[in-house]
Chain A
């Protein structure tokens, strides 16, 4: 044991990097082992997985209409197959051996509809319960075409020539300000990216504020500040929680990319999907850095866990506003000008930019501007929130006024 004198003072120097690493290490250790973190991460991964599977089922679901025809209704069936394809209904025509056989197949469900011989202007269709609306429209159109063909033939024309000419006739649009063409799948990916980054920023921000208050309310901060500087404690906490949050975002993002691609839910290229995930991670890192500093500073103003929600409301609201604006406007109007401007500001860019980038067609200058502004905001926030934290963290008891903490 030490005999207690200066001459043999042991080397107890702790560099700033060591101090920050120690504090961050404790955060990472305790948080990775916490049940709630493990459960939330697993739940989010499951969520994107389930979403991919559901999407896959919806887009390529079993909606092929099986339509039976008899020898008498064969020309109609042939027309129907090509027309329905244009209308977006997939039709599989099946030849049946007489009307009764066809009726039996409709009854046992192996056919969705049975076309019978036309009687005057009426086309009888046998179904079990009801006829699919789109299919009905296609059948009507097909019946009309068949009539037209017959008339053209009767007048001495060639129905196939007329049909080709009709098919080749199209409108040529000359738009003065053509809208961006957005892939609905990318819009969906963008919305998911928005939800994920919003959840991640809200959760990690709250963790930072609660962590700061935990140290204040348990008074352990007094022991800690006798050994490390306030900024080292704050930096260690932010870095530690950031690493843990980043791991979560990477795991969930990677699950989303793999699930989307491997289940076939996404017909996007790997490059596009991975690109969206990478932007998600980049903006999480930036957004977390910006917001966690604010959450840490605000947390240092109060001493009880039940006051954390109240004191961090302004920061939470900014996240909510960015998210709500993004998720309600962007999927319908991805190139909305107001949202575009908002997405450049460091306050909203962490929630809006990953959504826009995943949806595509963000001009390069906007990407660069948003990144540059966010990066530039970091040192300013470090100075400001560091001061608030340093002044607030040792004042236990009543809530510290922001004005006092800024002195």
Chain B
């Protein structure tokens, strides 16, 4: 399975981690990346990235979350050398990524890109060879990955003849066909059918399990929450929160859901410090201040009537995201 020691905040020293094979496994680091564009139709510049810093350890599945236009695509394109940063550096294993090491990255651009009129098989072999593979190896890996992703019977078809879902699978195959040692995938789940979503998550976990640092972005926060080791939230070109989902949750007060049928909402108000956030029928969402014992709340509930439900509520990533983004915006 994938590495599980990634609960440290992202400010850890780069050598803190040891890879599963021992020695120093290569970590992917983004160090203070800044990028400005000329503003459209006028003078001045727009800052797309403003000191973007984070890292991904080998074997780690890192989810990149932002609101549209906050800079995740720019970050990825800089890592791939499609764009040049104004300042800052992307490092892999401590050394800046060069044109040659870049061939070891598997990339899936946000705007999907394949030759529409080229056959699936030829296209994948071509892309693998551009990544430096010999022809026989490229053919072998093309067969292996198309079989794995369930598009092996379409090798002789033009990409444009495939369904959208299958085109996405071919796109993923194009990112994997050269057995990359780093994966950078921009919105890999968008446009996938549920089966393909499962295949995709499985492949990402398997690759990170093989020691590959995996960076992917998504707007599907439930999915990110489910499969990522760590999450980074980006706002206005900066990383504003970064860590495991639990780390991020740790920042807010504890919440519990209590259902005492027929008891109304008044009993909760009697417990000192507890705030009622939401009432749905007899179901209450309570916020417990720091240091409050949840057992005390349970006793109060039992005193009010038979308790049907009593659970700690884990705020979903969606809520954390909204929280982090609006908090930053207000600051």
Contact = CB atoms under 8 A, between A and B. Distances in A.
Interface of A: 1-7, 9-14, 19, 22, 26, 29-30, 214-215, 218-229, 394, 396, 404
Nearest to A407: B38
Contacts of B210: 1-4
Interface in B209-242: 210-212
A179 B330 CA distance: 88
Contacts of B132: 10-14, 227
Nearest to B112: A219
Interface stretch (B19-27, B187-195, B197-205, B253-261): B19-27
Given A14-B130, A223-B114, 16 more contacts: A3-B211, A4-B25, A4-B211, A5-B21, A9-B104, A9-B181, A12-B131, A14-B132, A219-B109, A222-B107, A222-B113, A223-B107, A223-B174, A225-B80, A227-B103, A227-B130
A219 B102 contact: no
A2 B210 CA distance: 8
23 contacts: A1-B210, A4-B25, A4-B58, A5-B19, A6-B26, A7-B23, A9-B181, A12-B103, A14-B132, A22-B129, A22-B130, A26-B126, A30-B117, A214-B115, A215-B115, A223-B174, A224-B130, A226-B81, A227-B102, A227-B127, A227-B132, A394-B82, A404-B38
A1 B179 contact: yes
Most buried by A among B115, B130, B131: B130
Contacts of B114: 218, 220, 223
Nearest to B101: A9
Given A2-B181, A4-B58, A228-B130, A223 B99 contact: no
A2 B102 contact: no
Nearest to B95: A6
Contacts of A227: 102-103, 127, 130-132
A12 B98 CA distance: 12
Contact of A222 (B58, B77, B178): B77
B25 A218 contact: no
Contacts of A222: 77, 80, 82, 107, 109, 111, 113
B12 interface: no
Contacts of A225: 80-82
Nearest to A34: B117
Interface residues of B, number: 45
B118 interface: yes
B290 interface: no
A14 B212 contact: no
Most buried by A among B77, B101, B181: B181
A5 B27 CA distance: 10
B105 interface: yes
Contacts of A11: 132
B100 to A, nearest CB: 6
Nearest to B105: A226
Contact of A6 (B93, B99, B113): B93
B269 to A, nearest CB: 56
Interface of B: 19, 21, 23, 25-26, 38, 58, 77, 80-83, 93, 99-105, 107, 109, 111-118, 122, 126-127, 129-133, 174, 178-179, 181, 210-212
A69 B7 CA distance: 118
B232 to A, nearest CB: 21
B131 A219 contact: no
Contacts of A223: 107, 109, 113-114, 127, 174
A11 B112 CA distance: 28
A4 B212 contact: yes
Nearest to A30: B118
B103 A14 contact: yes
Nearest to A8: B181
Contacts of B102: 226-227
A218 B130 contact: no
Contact of B21 (A3, A19, A22, A214): A3
The 7 closest A-B pairs by CB, nearest first: A12-B132, A219-B113, A4-B211, A220-B113, A219-B111, A226-B80, A227-B130
A13 B130 CA distance: 10
A392 to B, nearest CB: 13
Contacts of A5: 19, 21, 23, 25-26, 58, 181, 211
B83 A394 contact: yes
B255 to A, nearest CB: 39
A120 B99 CA distance: 102
A9 B114 CA distance: 27
A221 B131 contact: no
Contacts of A404: 38
Contacts of B122: 29
B56 to A, nearest CB: 12
Contacts of B212: 4
B115 A12 contact: no
B81 A218 contact: no
Contacts of B93: 6
Contacts of B181: 2, 4-6, 9
Contacts of A30: 117-118
B81 to A, nearest CB: 6
A325 to B, nearest CB: 37
A217 B270 CA distance: 64
A222 B108 CA distance: 9
Most buried by B among A4, A10, A12: A4
A11 to B, nearest CB: 7
A214 B111 CA distance: 14
Contact of B113 (A3, A7, A218, A229): A218
Given A12-B103, A14-B130, A218 B116 contact: yes
B55 to A, nearest CB: 16
Contacts of B58: 4-5
A228 to B, nearest CB: 6
B57 to A, nearest CB: 12
Contacts of B118: 30
Contacts of B117: 30
Nearest to B159: A218
Nearest to A23: B130
Nearest to B174: A223
Contacts of B81: 225-226
B217 to A, nearest CB: 15
